[in-house]
Amino acid sequence: MKKRSDVPFGTASRRTVLKTLAAGAGVAALGGGWSGAAFAEDRVLTINTNISGEGQRKLMAQFIEEFTKETGIQVQQNAMDHEGYKTAIRNFLVANPPDVCLWFSGDRMRAFVNRGLFDDMSDLWVKEGWADKVGALTTTVTVDGKQYGVPTGASFWGIWARKDYLDKYADGKAPATWDELLAFGDKMVADGISPFAIGTKDLWPAAAWFDYLNLRINGYDFHMKLMAGEASYEDPKLDAVFDKWQELVDRKFFIPNHTSYDWQGAVPFLLQGKAGMYLMGQFLTRNIPAADLDKYTYLQFPTIDPAVAIAEEFPVDSMHIPSGAKNKDLARQFIAFFYQPQRLALWVEPEGNIPTRSDVPVLKKDWLLEKGQAILQSAKSASQYYDRDTDPDMAQIGMNGFQQFMADPKSRKAVQARLEQARKRIYKQS
């Protein structure tokens, strides 16, 4: 995997980027020499979005306004709830496809490609010369050598931790091993503090624990075999995964009643000191008051077996053209406009995402981004996340099972059996 530090980033202020766009770079940014006035049309470009952060919501509205001003093309954005979108996209891609939609790369994208629901965008990649700029991340939107989207931003995962609790219960030292994590957490439990906040109402936060435990215990290759349906959920190798997970549950390492909270609903436990840590992506930053950010640090998930190479979670978001889109030419025009370095720099900033092309200017020095890059640079490989790496139907059943296990560890064998039945059915194996 290409390390982001190996890629030469420029440095620019947010004001400089905005001035550059305002000065007319937006016209050239259309790609291929498109001219705004010449392309004014009566057709309306439709875009379906699942943006949850306020910063990116405002930016999408800004980019749409700029695009209309430059081209004369009207744009209708259909903004949807992030969680509801995961179900809605299965319907609208078939029944009422937009011209552009946001989604996830990896297996989530591949599932729609295999059903013929995403358009081959390889022609746009060639025209815009993106392969050299996107580099290794091109593979995240590639199926059988063809590109079916553009990666728009990469998230990274780790453990948010309160600095005051690290000082009090771990002498300021980040837990680097499993035993150190247990020792740190046990001291918090003794003082009535839950070591970890988590909200499993949305299901997917529980999957982070399964992913990291499996990656640290069994390694990347086995994990990806499981994600591809090529390994059994009743494989003895997973015994250690559920053993370690149950150890945390039994030690009361998670907040009580976590099934009642979505991921954002669990954040106050961390902010109020009722929990000391939170295994979550860097996007948690938008839920922490800016004035309080210096009270937290970001840790790499501890090592469990030193013989197992480190792998990290590195989900990549993406933008696509549905195969049933009515205005594919306008869709390509908008994506070329959106995917210019200056706009992408603005786009990734609010979420603290890692840019997906090498020529994106860095708008400001960011300690969290530097932490994320350091974590990724130490990794030998990277997965995208459970619900992106495996079949969508398998992911739903799996995450339900993980939630059930965390709430009732005695259900472990029944959960594994149900997941294995689903794997055989979905991947048509006996």
CB 100 within 8 A of CB 329: no
Task: Go through the domains of the chain in sequence order and give each one's CATH number.
Answer: 4-153+317-359 (3.40.190.10), 157-313+373-426 (3.40.190.10)
- Residue 53: the pLDDT is 87
Instruction: Please report, as a single letter, which amino acid is at residue 217.
Output: I
- Residue 40: the pLDDT is 47
pTM for this entry: 0.78
pLDDT digits (tens, 9 = 90+) for 185-198: 999 999 999 999 99
Q: What is the mean pLDDT of each run of 10 residues along the chain (430 residues)?
A: 32 41 38 41 90 94 98 97 92 98 92 97 98 89 96 94 98 98 99 99 97 98 96 98 99 98 98 99 93 96 97 95 98 98 94 88 81 84 91 94 98 98 88
- How far apart are the C-alpha atoms of 258 and 109, rounded to whole Å? 30
- Residue 23: the pLDDT is 38
- Residue 4: the pLDDT is 30
Tokens (6 digits) for 316: 């990549």
